[in-house]
Structures are given as C-alpha cells and as structure tokens.
Amino acid sequence: MIQILTVIAPLFLIIFASACLQKWKNIGNDWQKVLNEFALNIGLPALIFSALAKTSFSLQTEAPLIITTSIYILLSFAVAVTIGKIFHFTKPIFLTVFLCFVFDNFAYLGIPVLTRLFGTTILPTASIIVAIYLFWIFTVGTGYLEFAQNHSRQKMFASITKNLITNPLLMAVMLGLIVGNLRIVVPSVIFQSIDMLSASVTPTVLIVIGLFIGTSTIGKLSEWRGVCLFSLATLAILPACFYFGITFFGFNPSHFSSSIIEAAMPLGTTPFALADRFGLDKKFIARSIVFSTIFSVLSLPFWIWILSL
C-alpha cells in the first residue's frame, strides 16, 4: 500500500499545491479557464491521437474491454434514473445525479494515474476507455438531458450529432484509429510536435483540478450529506459492482484493471461546465468534485491494492 501511495502521491501533491496557491494568491478564474480550454481542446486530443495513431487497434482483441465498460456505463445511467425515481429528487438534482454518476475524471485524472501505474504503454488502452466513456456520455447522457429539458426528440438527436462531429476528444479518437489501423505514415516532425503537446497535459490538468478546488467554499456541514453519499457511491459502490460483476461472470478482474480504476475516479470538472446549459445543481457538483477528489487519495490506492497492481 505504501508503494501505491508513493506512485500516485506526486499527482495529488500537484493538485493540492495548486489549490493552496489559489487560496493564498487568489489567482482567479482566468488561469483555470485558459488551462482547461487548452487541455480539453488541444492537449488531451493530442495525447489520445498520438497513443492510438502509433498502435494498430484490433476490435476482436479489445471487444471484452469495450463491451464490459459500455455495460457498466449504461447500467450506471439506469441506476441513477432508478435512484432519482425512488427518492423523488427535484429535477436539477435528478439530472445532476444522472450525468455525474458516470462523468468521472476518467481523462483528466484517469490517464495520469494509469500512466503512473503502467507507463506510457497503457496509453492506447486508456485512450480507448476514454473514447467509450465519451461516446456514451455525449450520446445517451447529454441526449437524455436535452430531452428532459426540451422534450424534443429533434433537439436531442441534433445535440448528439453535434457532439459526435465536433467534440475534439472524439475527433482525436477517430483520427487516431484511422491513422493507426491504416498505417498512414505521418512525418516524424508532426509526431514530435504532437508529443510535445501531450507531455504538457498531465501537469496542466492536475493544476486545473487544484485551482478549481481552491476556489470552492466550505458552506454548512448539513449541505455536504448528499455530497458524501454521492461520493461514496462513485468512489466505492459503483466500482465494487463493476469488480464483482466481472468476477460473477467468470472473468479475471485484473484483466480489466484499467476500466475498474477509471470507474473509481472522482467526479470530473466537465459537468460543472455543463451545469448552466442543462439546469444542473452547480453547488452540488462543485462540492462533489472537491470532496470526491480529496477522498480519492485513499480510495484509489485501495482499488489499486485490490487489483494487486
């Protein structure tokens, strides 16, 4: 366990050092916005494209990973809907839980954690997992939110289509798969430029997470009860269901360790950016990001230890 903590500790040190800097110097939202836009639209797409373009993708080989991860994501959506109906959540909380149940920090924190554990050889697999999450989130996820807001199937399908053809991360996935599988020769100078951008992503996204945490306020203790329960579900219960589900069907969980670790990530920052568009509860999302990220310092080493990595 100590070795595991040593491996991922540098990631969280950067996060919390950035949070302290924000609290101390009050950097403001400008840095956070610029760095976030760079990571989301340039850095991460470059990383994903580079990883996939250098590796031939075999649908047959990756089919178990794609199927199991997709089933987990879709079941998580179903669980969120069920919980919302049972407890009669208000519309903002219901839609927030629906999206946030699945929108873990699978790219911003997931990729750095996996590369710290497995090295850069895991990047193609990590990129595929990210692509699976993005596909379902920006089709079923945002499509459902669009329909819940407007009750218009036309707007729902328009939103899904727009996401599929304009999302930089999904475009990087598709281009990377095309270049890798068709073995298109890309000049080395272009790959070197892309790799330089890729190398900057990990520290950038960790700083963004830290700056976000640094701008958060504590508020009343009673307001954190739902946040604690939500974080418990996303950090422990859902990944445990994934783990035992794989075991129940006779698979070795260690073969799906990357997917399980991704499932155990804290809440990502993108739902906060989508809050105004879909009428989500911004305060709940902000506190869930802070709380789940802080407690993932303990939960992630636990899952890594369970998987004996």
User: At residue 2, does pLDDT exceed 70?
Assistant: no
User: 3: pLDDT confidence band, cut at 50, 70 and 90?
Assistant: low
Q: How confident is the model at residue 4 (pLDDT cuts 50, 70, 90)?
A: low
The amino acid occupying position 266 is: P
One-character DSSP codes across 114-165: HHHHH-GGGHHHHHHHHHHHHHHIIIIIHHHHHHHHH--HHHHHHHHHHHHH
Of the two residues 270 and 100, the one the predictor is more confident about is 100
In the predicted structure, residue 1 carries a pLDDT above the cut 70:
no
Over residues 192-219, mean pLDDT = 83
Res. 87: pLDDT tops 80: yes
The candidate with the shortest Cα–Cα distance to 259, out of 133, 170, 172, 90, is 133
Q: pLDDT tens across 168-177, in order?
A: 888 888 898 8
For 277-287, the pLDDT digits (tens) are: 788 888 888 88
Predicted confidence (pLDDT) at residue 262 exceeds the cutoff of 90: yes
The percent of residues above 90 in pLDDT, for the chain, comes to 21
Instruction: Give the three-state DSSP class for 85.
Output: helix
Question: Tell me, what amino acid is at 97?
Answer: V
What pLDDT, on the 0 to 100 scale, is given for residue 309? 60
Task: Say which range, 235-249, 262-276, 286-300, has the weakest mean pLDDT.
Answer: 262-276
Region 40-62: what's the mean pLDDT? 82
pTM above 0.85, yes or no: no
CATH architecture of 2-306: Up-down Bundle (1.20)
Listed ranges 52-66, 122-136, 153-167; the one with the highest mean pLDDT:
122-136
**Local structure of 267: helix, strand or coil:** strand
Domain boundaries, the chain: 2-306
DSSP run (H or E) holding 34: helix 29-38
Closest-CA residue to 101 (of 62, 140, 49): 140
pLDDT tens figures, 53-83? 887 767 777 888 999 999 999 999 999 999 9
Distance CA(43)–CA(118), nearest Å, equals 20
State the angle between helix axes of 282-306 and 225-232 in degrees (0 to 180), rounded to the nearest 10.
Answer: 30
Q: 2-11 burial by CB neighbour count: b if 16+ within 10 A, else e?
A: eebeeebeeb
* C-alpha distance from residue 226 to each of 34, 230, 263, 274 (Å): 31, 6, 20, 20
Distances 68 to 184, 213, 268 between C-alpha atoms, Å: 30, 32, 21
Is residue 111 predicted with pLDDT exceeding 70? yes
Q: Is the pLDDT of residue 225 over 90?
A: no
Q: Which residues, other chains included, contact 229 with Cβ-Cβ below 8 Å and sequence gap of 6+?
A: none
Q: Residue 224 has what DSSP assignment?
A: G
Gap between the terminal Cα atoms of the chain:
10
pLDDT at residue 76, rounded to an integer = 93
Whole-number pLDDT of residue 245: 93
Which whole number is the average pLDDT over 89-101? 88
Res 95 pLDDT > 70: yes
Is pLDDT of 11 > 90?
Answer: no
- 286 closest CA partner among 265, 308, 270: 270
| Percentage of residues in the chain having pLDDT higher than 70 | 95
